[in-house]
Chains A and B, each alone.
Chain A
């Protein structure tokens, strides 16, 4: 049952605090997002800087970088995902416990970035696993990463835990190495190629 905001404020002045299960659970969940400790390229250096004292990701409860996917809530895909690395990234995501989230940090993880026309880089990790927050930049500054983390916190607070658990996806298929790329090239359940943009009439 939703409580009227005005009544809630009035009661708080009298020392009575009311909340809901979802709000309480989300408050806890959103303030202790433990990231998976791994980095793929130069974005990882900015991620490390965010964890150090100057930017201090601990202010948001995310300072505990776990070395095991079993103990992590958040995967920060920090850097270039090569075709050779992509199956391992999907496998690590599969090994994380629900509910789990992905931040795609930087141009490479989002779209392939400067390697977009190359032969060896995946054009976005969202082709295989569902990304929650994209952070632009090459690499993004620690401030940008913290902003992305705050966006993720907002997202967690806006959704009920029951819905998160009900929306559990199970394992995502791990791509295999083909003759010149991954097979399949993308997971159609997660990502579809953009519809071709019609060229404006001259």
Chain B
């Protein structure tokens, strides 16, 4: 069985000296610089074996000038999950480490978040738009995106 989020925080902080996490609404808030360390530990520690990244998305908080990237992890081998991680990034320049070296499945989801939210994933080998076309300007899932008037001539 997977420990509760509070226990998980304590266990991770013991395993990884220098890492400080917070719990917020059932998710672990991970500092951006420590995300790779924490994720690698969650995948490779036998007890957790979180080998499956089921979801990677982002949330835009314009009033707080913040962009959160959200990770949902499951374990196929242990049949447990989900563990929810969140990384808080500055909205003006959101950059976070890519998770593709850890979970191969992150590649397309990171491209989607880059396309629609404009988050840059450091270390991604092929970071380009995936849904919108190459010449598209802007990131349409950002709250301040202005939708074109299709009736205008």
Q: Interface digits, B115-153 against A, CB 8 Å rule (1 contact, 0 not)?
A: 000000000000000011101111010000101101111
Task: Please measure, in the bound complex, the distance between the C-alpha atom of A177 and the C-alpha atom of B148, giving whole angstroms.
Answer: 13
> Contact between B137 and A179 (Cβ–Cβ < 8 Å)?
yes
Q: Does A118 contact B (CB under 8 A)?
A: yes
Contacting residues of chain A (95-119) with chain B, CB-CB under 8 angstroms:
117-119
Query: How many residues from B make CB contacts under 8 Å with A?
Result: 15
- Interface SS, B side: loop
Task: Count residues on chain A whose CB falls below 8 Å from chain B CBs.
Answer: 19
Q: Is A84 within 8 A of B153, CB to CB?
A: no
A121 nearest CB neighbor, chain B only: B150
Name the residue on A nearest B151 (C-beta): A193
Q: A6-14, A60-68, A181-189: which lies at the B interface? A: A181-189
User: CB within 8 Å of A: which residues of B?
Assistant: 131-133, 135-138, 140, 145, 147-148, 150-153
Query: Which residues of A are at the interface with B, using a C-beta cutoff of 8 A?
Result: 84, 117-120, 122-123, 127, 177-181, 184-186, 188, 193-194
For the A-B complex with A185-B148, A193-B153 known, give 7 more contacts whose Cβ atoms are closer than 8 Å: A119-B147, A119-B148, A179-B137, A180-B148, A185-B152, A186-B150, A186-B151
